[in-house]
Amino acid sequence: MAMLEVKNISISFGGLKAVDDFNITIEKGQLYGLIGPNGAGKTTIFNLLTGVYKPDCGRILLDGQDITGHKTAAINRAGIARTFQNIRLFKDLSVLDNVKVGLHNHYRYSTLAGIFRLPSYRKAEKDMDERAMELLKVFDLDREFAYKASNLPYGKQRKLEIARAMATDPKLLLLDEPAAGMNPNETAELMNTIRFVRDHFDMTILLIEHDMKLVSGICERLTVLNFGHMLAEGPTGEVLNDPQVIAAYLGE
């Protein structure tokens, strides 16, 4: 069974059809790319998948479970985590606490246990600290754990966003332009990180990206979007050589 199956979703804002009859099927463990010119509706699709918008029609199945129209928080608990195009960290919290917020639903204790520092609080906090540090180490952020998130350099902020998303233990990870604003070195490092996340956590990843080097370097399959319509779909090599795609997006 496919990890994500999106069937014929559409949404319009006023008279504008932002996404029209969109379909995608992502198998478990796949690294999938969503590309297209600015305003094609890529981020809108992410917002539809994560419940920020409700589709006008169509269905979204995650690992066989229908999540169409569910709330954002519920969809995360069902197994979709995401990062944002414009970084959205908890800027006044420490790097460690950012990840611990991601662990929120996996290590539970009641508010009263927290206030009275009951054993359940101590145990859960200890486990959370350990798990969070493990994750930070994976993303090479462990030395900065006490920094305020807003004090991290840009590249590390992007990584922290991925670490936070991974803390929610998702089945599917959505990355919205992870390489935006990065220099070639940082991009190369990011490619390694994304590949590592896929292999290490056996993760299914869908990413939006404009950096063709990154897309052709790591994505196995691509969907190209143009003005809300699907232009092409298939293995990366084929799609990037499709004359239609070259005309609409890549240029001669």
Partner 1 sequence: MKAYKKKVLVQNTITYALVIASYLLIQALIAGDLINSLLKGLLVPLCIYVILAVSLNLTVGILGELSLGHAGFMCVGAFAGAFFNQMMEPSLPSDQLRFLIALFVGAAVAAAFGILIGIPVLRLKGDYLAIVTLAFGEIIKNVINVLYVGVDSRGIHLSFKDVASLGLEESGRVIIKGAQGITGTPKTATFTIGIILVLITLFIVLNMIHSRTGRAIMAIRDNRIAAESVGIDITKYKLMAFSVSAALAGVAGVLYAHNLATLAATPKNFGYNMSITILVFVVMGGIGSIRGSIIAAVVLTLLPEMLRGLNDYRMLIYAVVLIVMMLLTSSPRAIEMRERFFAFRKTGKKGA
Positions touching partner 1 (CB under 8 A) are: 50, 52, 71-74, 76-77, 81-82, 84, 88-94, 96-97, 100-102, 104-105, 107-109, 111, 114-117, 121, 124-125, 129, 133, 145-146, 164-165, 167-168
Q: Which residues contact 184 (CB under 8 A, 6 or more apart)?
A: none
Nearer to partner 1, 21 or 125 (CB): 125
Residue-wise DSSP of 120-154: HHHHHHHHHHHHHHHHHHHTT-GGGTTSBGGGS-H
**Nearest approach, Cβ of 183 to partner 1 (angstroms)?**
25
The H-or-E segment that residue 96 falls in is helix 95-102
Tokens standing for 94? 């420490």
Cα atoms in the 13 Å half-sphere on the side-chain side of 36: 23
Nearer to partner 1, 82 or 156 (CB): 82
**Nearest approach, Cβ of 129 to partner 1 (angstroms)?**
7
Residue 178 · residue 209 · CB < 8 Å: yes
**Nearest approach, Cβ of 55 to partner 1 (angstroms)?**
18
**Nearest approach, Cβ of 31 to partner 1 (angstroms)?**
21
Q: Between β-strands 221-226 and 229-235, what pairing exists: parallel, antiparallel or unpaired? A: antiparallel
Nearer to partner 1, 12 or 150 (CB): 150
Nearer to partner 1, 84 or 227 (CB): 84
